[in-house]
Every structure is written in structure tokens, then in C-alpha cells.
Chain A
């Protein structure tokens, strides 16, 4: 089980002319990822979601809060003592075209981490080779793929290799950052359903980071969805509840932006118009979203609301002074036939 408590990350940059600039990538993020569970984070680019993925996999440090793996707080451990914990959380990269070494074949790509892992488990050479073949089968690739180089594989196949490589070290959780955005559409669902299978069949927990609500819904079914805006989680709850009954205007804007399959779906009657672009430089003591919010009132600029539970559903929480249900999500109008 992985728990994050009030994780913050602030970057301070110094521009040549602009003076010191502070970017709050994460402003106190909390979540619990139980074994076999799923948590998705959705938000625009620049909202801090990728930083979160990097922190969870040990590629980035955090400056406040606690990250607990099975109850051990990693922020209190030395880098060396921390490493075995991060072995259990593996990252699936966004771009399968740059995540694989082009000069090594798939056998080598899987073989290296398997050999490292064998130092702990004591697996023999034969067992390592068997494991490589097993992993390939698990991710839906033919045994012949072992002899292939990345350039001989399609985007979907490469992403499967990346997933197999992550599985070589027997992780308990996978962090998938926009894992299908670079893959051909007809291959995407295959990779998503593979991740879903790993969760359902092997109990591997999944932390999914994306800007695409539909894929978050597909992978996060039965899990939790967090909507993140400028480093703050502004709405969270069971995936279905947040997607079907969003109450925060930002979540509603995100859901309004999902394209409607005309003919099959009916746009929601309260669908909101697209927003102006995000300007993360705007500093405000109040609600972070207020400068872009179509429903902002004077009060929104004064204090920043924290997460509060909805009276009807304690698990569904939001950070808005004026939460209101709006029907922004498309509804099914007809089935394909």
C-alpha cells in the first residue's frame, strides 16, 4: 500500500530579467493506493501531475509531506535505504519511442533488469530466460519478439515491451504517465486493457496520470479519480461519481472538453464553453481556479477552499465555495449497430 500525505514540491527558478520565480508544482497532495487499487490523476499540462509521477518513482524529490510504502516513511530514509522501496513502484514512460535503447534487442532490454533482480531472488540464468519469455506472453507479445530491436516494433508493441520491462523487478504498483498518448488509436485500447488486466489478475496497483478523462475512466474503474489544478487536488472521489456528477467548475470544464461522438452521444445540456489558456503565473491568495472560473464570485478571491465532502457522498470531495451539479457529460444516445 502506498500512501501520500500532504506532499508538496516547489521549484524556485531565477530568470535573467524576471527575478526569482516560484512554481508550486504540488500543493499538498494526499492519496492512498491500496494493493490492487487504482488512482487516476487528471489535469492539464503544467498542473503538476507528471511531477507527482516522478516523485512516486523516486526520480524527483519532494520538499514537504510524507510518502509511505507499507507504513514506512520514505522521506526519513537515506537514499540507499529508500531504493528497495522504489523498486516496488515502476514507471511506464509516456513515449515508448524514446524509452527503449535502440541498440539493444528486447532480450537484452528485459535481461538486464532480470539479472539485477536475480541478485536478490537468486534466480538462475535459465529461470531468468524463462521469466523473460513469460513476461512477453503476459504482455501479449510473441516469443520471437525477444530477438527484435525497438525499431522493428510498432508503438503499441514497444509500449508492451516497456510494461514487460517494468514487470521484471516484480513491482507492486505501476505509475503510468500518459501511457497511450503516443500510440496508434487501434492499439491504444489493447495497452489499456493490458494494464487493467494486470491490476485485476495480478493485483498490481495502478496510478494513472493523464489529461484524457475517457482513458482515466477506463483504467480507474472502481478506483479513485483526483482532479488536479495548479498543484492542488480540487475534486476527488470514486471515479464514476466524479465523472458522472462533477461539482467543481474546473472538473466540469474538463469533462465538457471531452469530444462528443455525435450520433452515438448527446452532449450534456450544461456543457461549458472552452476556457482561456492556463496562466500559471497569476498569483492569488484565493481559489486557484477563480481567475478562469465562469462562476467565480468576489468571495472566491479571498480564501482558498480546502477539500470538503459532499453531504450526499462522503467519499466525493471538492474544493469549491459554490459547488453545483451541472450536466456537462455526454449521455448515450444510441448504440452502434
Chain B
């Protein structure tokens, strides 16, 4: 109510474009000595072309497993037990096998792995790995592939000759991360998944990589998924946010709105526990308790209830399903969605603008 204008952070394009990727009711379990443990439970999420979706969660929340399901590449003993991942032009990835699956990976689906440094082969130069990628995808014109890689390198501010002739140890962390993005996009991917793209980087390289992600996303009209534990990173670049906890997507919606008016108590707590550059540091509050891992995850009821300030008896009994509580916004919580009344202090503050240009010159 402090802001009467409609928010256009991503919400405007919703509905206008078909989903590039539709994850429906996806469940992934890890078979262990403690039985089948669900790393992802009944997750549904859509990625649309032209939109950056941020997937936020702590370690053990299942966010990386969910991202890997997009490639049908969940490592054993994990396996997708139900649900589907429909990718436009490819079909249901969870049913692909063999050659068709290999073509989709790195083809339509570009994936930048967590800690890119570990995903590059230390024994081969970047250029050789690029050629390997081309051959494994039966690219006939390898020269054109190299040309395209050079273009991408230049666009990311890399010296293409140097990079293609380098081994991974000769590149800095920020450069390797960019090489990861080049390799993910060189076969004209339409979907780009970045798993923790900035975790090992310091502030300035992080800002540079985020800037690059934003510009290649826009120029190529990609459907981008950024997976991270860092609220700052996603809120800087994402149009839509999905918050994961204990293998469930507990909230998702347009980024600016979700940050301003979080509706799930976990999202609210996570924002409140972020050390920020403005505002009163004494208002920051740590979350009580520990994040669950697969073995301590509640088998019944809401996974967040142990740390939740709003926990009620019903939370012990039933696991809330993700549902649309107001147009465009989804949450999985039994508590009243409206939450508390807005703080009066918020009223005189200048109006928030969700600047689609990213606010940079």
C-alpha cells in the first residue's frame, strides 16, 4: 500500500511467453542405508524465456539436486522418482536416455557448474575442451564453433586467444567462471543454469560475473536459472525468486515483491538475517536452530516448523502444499498469508523501483 504502481519485475512477462522449462511435481530421492531420503519433494517451477529465476536455499535444501534434474544428471544414489521436466524443443528430460540426453546436455541446456574450476579438465587447454564439446555434439563446422566461442569470450571481457590456449590453473576464479559460461552457451543454449556462480569469488569479480550473466541473458533471450545461497546475488539479478527449504519450494514469486513482502516465515527470516549495507544493523536477527539435512528432515508435517515463529499444531500433522495465495505468488505455509500489518515506518520511504536495467550505467 506504500506503492500503488504495479510492479513490473518479471510479472509483466509472465503469461506472455510460454515456459521454456516446466518442472512439474518433481521428486528426487537418495537411496541410503537410512532408507529413501527425499532431496527434492514435489517441486514445481517454470522458467520462461527472457526471465532470470533465482533459486535460493541453504546447503542441503535440495537446490543443486533440483538444478541437476534439469539435465537428468542427478548423481547416484539419487534418482528422479516422479514428476517431469519439460524443456521446449527437447521434451521431458527425465525420460531421455543415451544419445538424445547427451545432445540436450550442453546443447539446448547450458549448465555452469558450481565451482567451475573443478568442472574444467586440468589436462587440456580450454580450446581443446571446446573442440571436444563440439565433437561430442556432432558439430560439423568446428571453425564456426571456435569463432562463436571467441565472440563470447570477447563479450565477457576475456582475451580469447589467451583463454583458449590456457589450462584451467592459468586462469583466475572469475575467468574460469566466465569460461564456464562460454562453454555453456557456445552451442546456442536456450536455457542457462548457473549453480552458485559467484561463491568462490570476491566482491568485485562477483559483480563482474553478475553483470555478464545479466547481459548474455538479455542479448540471447535465455531462460536463466541462478542457483545460490546468497540472497544478495539473486535479488541483484533475478526477476523471479524461488525459495527452497528441506527439499521443498516454500515460496516463489516476482523478486521485488517477494523481498518487500515475504509471505513464508523462512523467507522473512532469511531476509532478516542478511547483513546489509544500509539500515540499522541491530534489526538483523539470526535464525534459531539448524537447517535440516536429509537424515534430520521431518518425515511428517512442515519441514520448517522447528525453526518457525508461527508454528501451529496443524504444522506437525500436514505438509503444506505450494499454492497461489495471490495472483503470481506461491507459498507453502499453513499460517495466514497476509501476515502482520505493514510497519508504519515504511510509509515515508522513497518508492522502490524495480529497475529492469539493473541500475548500472
Q: Which residue in B175, B207, B256 is a CB contact (below 8 Å) of A274? A: B207
A19 vs B59: C-alpha distance when bound (angstroms)? 44
Is there contact, CB below 8 Å, between A337 and B281?
no
Mark the stretch among A27-35, A162-170, A260-268 that contacts chain B.
A260-268
A154 vs B259: C-alpha distance when bound (angstroms)? 27
Q: Which residue in A154, A188, A263, A273 is a CB contact (below 8 Å) of B9? A: A263
Mark contacts of B255-292 with chain A using CB atoms, 8 A cut-off: 1 yes-contact digit, 0 otherwise.
Answer: 11111111000001111111111110100111100110
B283 to nearest A CB, angstroms? Answer: 9
B352 within 8 A of A: yes
B200 to nearest A CB, angstroms? Answer: 10
A83 within 8 A of B: no
Chain A: CB-nearest residue to B276: A214
Is there contact, CB below 8 Å, between B360 and A157?
no
What residues of A have a CB within 8 angstroms of the CB of B281 in the complex?
217-218, 221
Mark contacts of A250-276 with chain B using CB atoms, 8 A cut-off: 1 yes-contact digit, 0 otherwise.
Answer: 000111111111111111000111111
B58 within 8 A of A: yes
A145 vs B290: C-alpha distance when bound (angstroms)? 14
What residues of A have a CB within 8 angstroms of the CB of B284 in the complex?
189, 193, 218
A100 vs B192: C-alpha distance when bound (angstroms)? 38
A225 vs B351: C-alpha distance when bound (angstroms)? 31
B345 within 8 A of A: yes
A15 to nearest B CB, angstroms? Answer: 13
Number of B interface residues, CB 8 Å? 70
Is there contact, CB below 8 Å, between B291 and A187?
yes
What residues of A have a CB within 8 angstroms of the CB of B236 in the complex?
259-262
Mark contacts of A95-137 with chain B using CB atoms, 8 A cut-off: 1 yes-contact digit, 0 otherwise.
Answer: 0000000000000000000000000000000000000000000
B350 within 8 A of A: yes
A333 within 8 A of B: yes
Is there contact, CB below 8 Å, between A275 and B275?
no
B123 within 8 A of A: no
Chain B: CB-nearest residue to A268: B359
Is there contact, CB below 8 Å, between B203 and A254?
yes
Q: Which residue in B2, B202, B210, B354 is a CB contact (below 8 Å) of A259? A: B210
B361 to nearest A CB, angstroms? Answer: 6
A175 within 8 A of B: no
Chain B: CB-nearest residue to A270: B361
Mark contacts of B335-354 with chain A using CB atoms, 8 A cut-off: 1 yes-contact digit, 0 otherwise.
Answer: 00001111101100111111
B144 within 8 A of A: no
What residues of A have a CB within 8 angstroms of the CB of B351 in the complex?
333
Is there contact, CB below 8 Å, between B285 and A44?
no
With A184-B229, A261-B274, A262-B355 given, is the CB distance from A335 to B59 under 8 Å? no
A337 to nearest B CB, angstroms? Answer: 4
Is there contact, CB below 8 Å, between A185 and B277?
no
B74 to nearest A CB, angstroms? Answer: 22
A23 to nearest B CB, angstroms? Answer: 16
With A214-B276, A262-B259, A337-B342 given, is the CB distance from A277 to B175 under 8 Å? yes
What residues of B have a CB within 8 angstroms of the CB of A186 in the complex?
58, 269-270, 273, 286-287, 291
Residue among B7, B210, B229, B286 with the highest chain A CB neighbour number at 10 A: B286
Is there contact, CB below 8 Å, between B278 and A277?
no
B172 within 8 A of A: yes
With A184-B59, A271-B360, A337-B343 given, is the CB distance from A332 to B279 under 8 Å? yes
Is there contact, CB below 8 Å, between B277 and A330?
yes
A156 within 8 A of B: yes
A329 within 8 A of B: yes
B208 within 8 A of A: yes
Mark contacts of A157-196 with chain B using CB atoms, 8 A cut-off: 1 yes-contact digit, 0 otherwise.
Answer: 1000000000000000000000000001111111011000
**Interface residue SS majority, chain B:** loop
Q: Which residue in B58, B175, B202, B352 is a CB contact (below 8 Å) of A45? A: B202
Chain A: CB-nearest residue to B271: A336
B16 within 8 A of A: no
B87 within 8 A of A: no
A260 vs B270: C-alpha distance when bound (angstroms)? 15
Is there contact, CB below 8 Å, between B359 and A260?
yes
A150 to nearest B CB, angstroms? Answer: 15
Chain B: CB-nearest residue to A191: B286
B166 within 8 A of A: no
With A258-B277, A261-B274 given, is the CB distance from A267 to B235 under 8 Å? no
Residue among B269, B341, B361 with the highest chain A CB neighbour number at 10 A: B361
What residues of A have a CB within 8 angstroms of the CB of B342 in the complex?
335, 337
With A218-B281, A260-B235, A277-B205 given, is the CB distance from A334 to B172 under 8 Å? no
What residues of B have a CB within 8 angstroms of the CB of A184 in the complex?
58-59, 229, 291
Residue among A187, A213, A334 with the highest chain B CB neighbour number at 10 A: A334
A254 vs B277: C-alpha distance when bound (angstroms)? 12
The interface of chain B, by Cβ under 8 A from chain A, is 2-3, 7, 9, 58-59, 157, 172, 174-175, 202-208, 210-211, 229-233, 235-236, 255-262, 268-279, 281, 284-287, 290-291, 339-343, 345-346, 349-355, 359-361
- Listed by A's residue number, 22 A-B pairs whose Cβ atoms lie within 8 Å are A45-B202, A155-B59, A185-B58, A187-B286, A189-B287, A214-B276, A218-B281, A253-B204, A259-B207, A262-B9, A262-B256, A262-B354, A263-B235, A263-B352, A265-B277, A329-B277, A332-B278, A333-B352, A334-B346, A336-B261, A336-B271, A337-B340
The interface of chain A, by Cβ under 8 A from chain B, is 44-45, 154-157, 184-190, 192-193, 211-215, 217-218, 221, 243, 253-267, 271-278, 329-337
